[in-house]
Structure formats: structure tokens, C-alpha cells
């Protein structure tokens, strides 16, 4: 297809057009993505996740600057939350990366969660695949500001950065059962704060207490001050260190592990979307609501009935 050929040649307009189709879940994008997938798998994908306000977007801006100085071509996918009331989104995080928008070797795309609760959306894997096929060397994926459940990023990226700040303090212990366990590198941002040393110690203690095999990757802690680029070069060196660790694994082992997580992520989102599409009729939905309201059935029985109807139509 013409659009595939243009994207493989690095055509930004063609890539942006296909990304918009993916964002709106247009079915015409499926064939193009299938063709592009064969040309993906070359970029190193770096995820950034963490609670709101830790400085993820600013950090990506600094990392882009550092990697561009190394001659790398960059892609960045910024995911913003969708309003549960209006279905709208601000898409404001990319404002902190505006200094790179005139760079032809930097492609930044904003998208929304579209109701997904894992920090990403169904569109993100496809957008990453497009950037990869375009020939980007490094692709950043920034999740929405997330808490313990924002772990979908772990299935999509090669190196996952969990960004925290010194002001989180003892909250790190509360987060341990969630996103902290997905980190390859902990980024202690805003490290000019007086509590930096204490938080740094807590992170290292947590790593030491973790149970990992001798052959697995031992997470690292890097201190940064993204607004002044302090520690950013050291962070890229640690990312490179993790990339070399991945390269030491057998290529099939690494690729299959990545595919397992990616397939599970895409399949789950597709199943949820298909279920919503089949029961979204307002009158049918309200009939279940009314029966539950009148105590003629429980919400559990209603859920079972909905599933039965979906399976019958499948």
C-alpha cells in the first residue's frame, strides 16, 4: 500500500495520518499495521511511568536532547487520561517537549487512554510499531500519571523507567506491590530536594530485599534533576547498560517474552472493546439497569446474562 511505503521512507505526514486512524479505531488501519509489523523490531523502546507530578514529560524532553546529541532518531508517545464524563483529553504533556517539535528527527504523538485503566490504550502498540518501522532508534512511551495498577507499560517496552520523587518518602513502600516492581531503572527525579538521600536509601533497600535470580537484571537507581539536565547523561548510560543485558539473552527468548506480554495487552483491550460494542445499545443496557433497580435480579446475574448474550452472538 502507498501509505506503508511512505511510512517506511520516514514520511511523517503518512505516519501521522495512520496514527489518527488508529486513535479513532478505524478498521482501515489494520492492513497497514499488519504490513508494517514485519518492518518493526529495531528500535529500543523506553517506558516512563510514575505518579502524577514526578516530572515524566520534562524528563523525556531532557532524554530526547541527550539522545539527539548522540545522533539518535527519536519517537515519543505521550498518553493522557480520558475524561470519564466528556471522553475528552487535554493532551498537555507534550507542551513540555515543545523545544523538539521543529527537529525533523523527533516525532512526538499524543494519544488518550480511551477508558483503559492500565496507563496505556489499545492505540499505543500500533503507534509504537509505526515509529519503529519509520526507523526510529529510540521510542519513549509515557503512561498517564498512575499508581499501583499502571503496569501495562511493562509488556510493551524493553526498558522501563519508574520515576519517583524525594517527596514520596514512605509512600514508596505502599507502591511496592504495583508499578515499582516493574522497574528496570528507578529514576529519583527532583533530586535537589532535602529528602533525596533518605528516598535513595529506601529504594536501594527495597532492591536488596527483592527476590531475583542471579542471572536476572538488578534494578538501578539514578538521581536526576530534569529541569537542569542533571543526571540525564548518567541515566542514558544505565539504559544502555540494560540494553546490553537484554542483548546477552538469546534473541528468541527476549523476543518471545516481549511478544507474550504485547499479545496479552492487545487481546485484552480488543476483548473489552468488543464486549462494550455488543452491549452498548442504550435501551438494552437500561433494561438491565431497571431490573436491577427493581430488585428483579442482582448485578451479578445481569453480568452473567450479558456474557451469555455476547457468547451467543460470537
Each domain of the chain, given as residue ranges in start order, spans 2-252, 279-313
C-alpha cell at 284: 438494552
Pairwise pLDDT comparison (310 vs 306), residue with the higher score: 306
Residue 92's pLDDT is 52
Residue 119's pLDDT is 47
Instruction: Please count the other Cβ atoms lying within 10 Å of the Cβ belonging to residue 74.
Output: 23
Sole residue written with cell 529519583: 188
Determine whether domain 2-252 maps to CATH 3.30.2320.50. no
Sole residue written with cell 539522545: 67
Residue 149's pLDDT is 45
Q: What is the mean pLDDT of the chain?
A: 81
What backbone phi and psi angles, to 5 degrees, belong to 75?
Answer: -125, 150
Taking Cα atoms as reference points, which of 142, 148, 140, 182 lies closest to residue 168?
148
**Across 113-140, average pLDDT:** 80
Question: What would the pLDDT profile of 47-60 be if each residue is shown by its tens digit?
Answer: 998 888 889 989 99
Residue 88's pLDDT is 45
In the predicted model, is pLDDT for residue 173 greater than 60?
no
Distance CA 98, CA 279 (A): 41
C-alpha cell at 53: 507530578
Residue 303's pLDDT is 86
Question: Whole-model pTM?
Answer: 0.83
Cβ density class 283-294: b for 16+ within 10 Å, e for less: eeeeebeebeee
Lowest mean pLDDT, pick from 6-10, 68-72, 144-148:
144-148
Strand order in the sheet with 106-112: 106-112, 74-80, 138-142, 44-49, 159-164, 185-188, 220-223
**Beta bridge mates, 138:** 44, 74
Instruction: Please count the other Cβ atoms lying within 10 Å of the Cβ belonging to residue 258.
Output: 17
What backbone phi and psi angles, to 5 degrees, belong to 102?
Answer: -90, 0
Residue 148's pLDDT is 43
**Across 192-204, average pLDDT:** 88
**Beta bridge mates, 160:** 47
In the chain, the DSSP E strands lie at 44-49, 74-80, 106-112, 138-142, 159-164, 185-188, 220-223
Pairwise pLDDT comparison (208 vs 165), residue with the higher score: 165
Question: What would the pLDDT profile of 66-120 be if each residue is shown by its tens digit?
Answer: 999 999 999 999 887 654 444 444 555 556 666 787 888 999 998 876 555 444 6
In the predicted model, is pLDDT for residue 214 greater than 60?
no
Distance CA 226, CA 240 (A): 19
DSSP letter at 79?
Answer: E
In the predicted model, is pLDDT for residue 127 greater than 60?
yes
> Do the Cβ atoms of 74 and 68 come closer than 8 Å?
yes
Helix (H) or strand (E) holding 312: helix 299-313
Lowest mean pLDDT, pick from 34-43, 106-115, 223-232:
106-115
Per-residue CA distances from 62 to 219, 226, 234, 265 (Å): 22, 6, 12, 29
**Across 33-55, average pLDDT:** 89
**Across 119-124, average pLDDT:** 70
**Beta bridge mates, 43:** none
**Beta bridge mates, 110:** 78
Distance CA 67, CA 305 (A): 53
Q: What percent of the chain has pLDDT over 70?
A: 76
**Across 254-279, average pLDDT:** 74
Question: What would the pLDDT profile of 269-294 be if each residue is shown by its tens digit?
Answer: 777 767 767 766 667 778 888 999 99
Residue 23's pLDDT is 79
DSSP letter at 280?
Answer: -
Alpha helices in 111-231 (DSSP H): 123-134, 171-175, 196-209
Amino acid at each position: 500500500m502507498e501509505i506503508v511505503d511512505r511510512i517506511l521512507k520516514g514520511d511523517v505526514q503518512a505516519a501521522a495520518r495512520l496514527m489518527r486512524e488508529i486513535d479513532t479505531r478505524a478498521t482501515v488501519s489494520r492492513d497497514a499495521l499488519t504490513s508494517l509489523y514485519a518492518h518493526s523490531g529495531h528500535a529500543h523502546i523506553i517506558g516512563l511511568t510514575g505518579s502524577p507530578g514526578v516530572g515524566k514529560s520534562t524528563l523525556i524532553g531532557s532524554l530526547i536532547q541527550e539522545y539527539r546529541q548522540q545522533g539518535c532518531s527519536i519517537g515519543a508517545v505521550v498518553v493522557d487520561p480520558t475524561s470519564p464524563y466528556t471522553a475528552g483529553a487535554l493532551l498537555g504533556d507534550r507542551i513540555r517537549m515543545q523545544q523538539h517539535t521543529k527537529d525533523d528527527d523527533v516525532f512526538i504523538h499524543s494519544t488518550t487512554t480511551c477508558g483503559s485503566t492500565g496507563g496505556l490504550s489499545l492505540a499505543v502498540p500500533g503507534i509504537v510499531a509505526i515509529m519503529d518501522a519509520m526507523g526510529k532508534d529510540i521510542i519513549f512511551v509515557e503512561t498517564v500519571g498512575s499508581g499501583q495498577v499502571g503496569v501495562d507499560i511493562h509488556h510493551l517496552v524493553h526498558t522501563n523507567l519508574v520515576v519517583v520523587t524525594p517527596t514520596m518518602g514512605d509512600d514508596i513502600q505502599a507502591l511496592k506491590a504495583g508499578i515499582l516492581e516493574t522497574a528496570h531503572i528507578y529514576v529519583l527525579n527532583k533530586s535537589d530536594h532535602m529528602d533525596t538521600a533518605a528516598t535513595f536509601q529506601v529504594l536501594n533497600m527495597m532492591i536488596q530485599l527483592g527476590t531475583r535470580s542471579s542471572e536476572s537484571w538488578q534494578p538501578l537507581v539514578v538521581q536526576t534533576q530534569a529541569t537542569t539536565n542533571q543526571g540525564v547523561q548518567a541515566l542514558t548510560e544505565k539504559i544502555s547498560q540494560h540494553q546490553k543485558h537484554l542483548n546477552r539473552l538469546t534473541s528468541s527468548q527476549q523476543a518471545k517474552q516481549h511478544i507474550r506480554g504485547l499479545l496479552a495487552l492487545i487481546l485484552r483491550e480488543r476483548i473489552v472493546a468488543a464486549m462494550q460494542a455488543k452491549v452498548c445499545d442504550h435501551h438494552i443496557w437500561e433494561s438491565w439497569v431497571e431490573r436491577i433497580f427493581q430488585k428483579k435480579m442482582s448485578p451479578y446475574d445481569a453480568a452473567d446474562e450479558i456474557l451469555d448474550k455476547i457468547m451467543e452472538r460470537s
